[in-house]
Structure 1
Amino acid sequence: MTAQNALTTETSSLYEGLDTMNARELLTNINKEDQKVATAVQAAIPQIEKLVTAAVAKLANGGRLFYIGAGTSGRLGILDASEIPPTYGASPDLVCGLIAGGDKAIRHAVEGAEDNLDQAWMDLRAQQITEKDVLIGIAASGKTPYVLGGLHTAKAHGILTGSISCNTNSLISTKADYPIEVEVGPEFVTGSTRMKSGTAQKLVLNMISTSLMILLGKVKGNKMINMQLSNQKLVKRGIGMIQEEIPDLDEETALNLLTAHGSVKKAIEAYQKT
């Protein structure tokens, strides 16, 4: 069992003398460490599956997904949440990322913000979280007070909880219904969890949100049929999707359908009803 005062994420780098390495050596060794991340995430798939299975049932019944975290972990949650509406045409309220210290902390560190045990629950209450929703706490160390407090109180209110940490037997895992632990080993720069730990968290978040959106019907085949048409590249992609589904349709007609209905899915459905 990993002692809380000897977390893997805090143990010394496997590499000495980083300041004596040239650029090629630094890049090669960082990449060597990064290659360990996917394998560590693979080992956690059974844990991720349990969380996704429980969460999709909640979201299918009108629930929402919340992420809470501090520092890098909080920023990664916000990044994942912010990409759901344009990619899948989902409501901006469906997935919400909250960070210790509020929006200012997205760009600048807010001193002491992560040490407040009560703040996460206050932030969640401001979003009117209910037991219909799902909360995932993200903390590489597995012991961030902001995240621990939020999970503890949410669970006491009957809210389904999950966690993502990068230490085995971490404290955060005891606060979540569905804990995920991805131990990637010591960071290349000792304690710099924005590196392998951050990469692992990003991979897991991608897996969770992408799987949820597919299971909720936001994808057809392998296409993002609900994506927002926010630029010419995506409009052209949308036209191609429509023509692939309806091969006899010319480009101009496909564009007109897309413009009229606002999404690939709605355009195809409208054409099929005619």
Structure 2
Amino acid sequence: MWKGKKIKVITEIKGIKVQTNNTLKKKKMKNLTKLTFTIVAFMLLFTACSKDDDDNSLTKDKKLASLVSPPNDQAEQSVINYQYDDQERLIEIAQENPYLVFFTFTYMPDGRVEKIKALTDLQSQLYTDYTFFYENESKIPNRMRYSGAVPTYTTDVVNIDNTLFWNNGNADEFVLEGVNAAENTFQSLVIDNTTYTLHFTNQLKNGLATQGALNIPLAMTKDYTGLLVYFGLQLNSHPITRLETSGGGLNNWQYETDAASYITKLGGIEYRYQ
């Protein structure tokens, strides 16, 4: 708050008739006392402001801005950017050089997710649009429409004991288990008879803590787990630490963090915040 400023104190006494040495000494002592009090008060204020600045840097929420991978023999430096709207909602995840959009997000006025446009064919750069419909004020979709790179198809999303069931236009069945609408969380996803069990932590921060509305709709997109693993994306409001498959597959995420528990690195991938 006050850093980098030098204070020059100038004492100027005009129009004072000095009658005796004692009077002059008393005036000097009085002025010195005032000056000392002012300096002490200023130092206390400076210390308090500095402490507040330090505390705020550790406690204020940050937004994930980008994931930066170092260059290697096969590729140049990779940068994946996270973009937000003026309400600080995530609206796009895209790679630089070459520019490639992974996801774009559209919201309803009340903040629920209306549509996700997701990359579903990396080679041909084809996208599928997932449009979500809700009953009343529910956070859980009760219908979903596929369009874009696939024939338009609308499916019901059936919720039985916090397990969601739906299918696509090819009659492939999907299951999302352990859904908690209040917390915007889930436990596992079943695709093509393979169960993917995801483990998250609330002890670390990834800069997406306020994006919980995306957790369940994102998990309902076709290539959610593939993009999560292949590109090392952060796609949930809490960081993922482990992904297990019913076929014996296992992926672990081991992070480096700062003093405020924000992730700074995952392997060679650097996390940057705003």
- TM normalised by structure 1 equals 0.27
Larger radius of gyration: 2
> Higher helix share goes to which structure?
1
Higher RCO, Cα 8 Å, sep 6+: 1
> Higher strand share goes to which structure?
2
- TM normalised by structure 2 equals 0.27
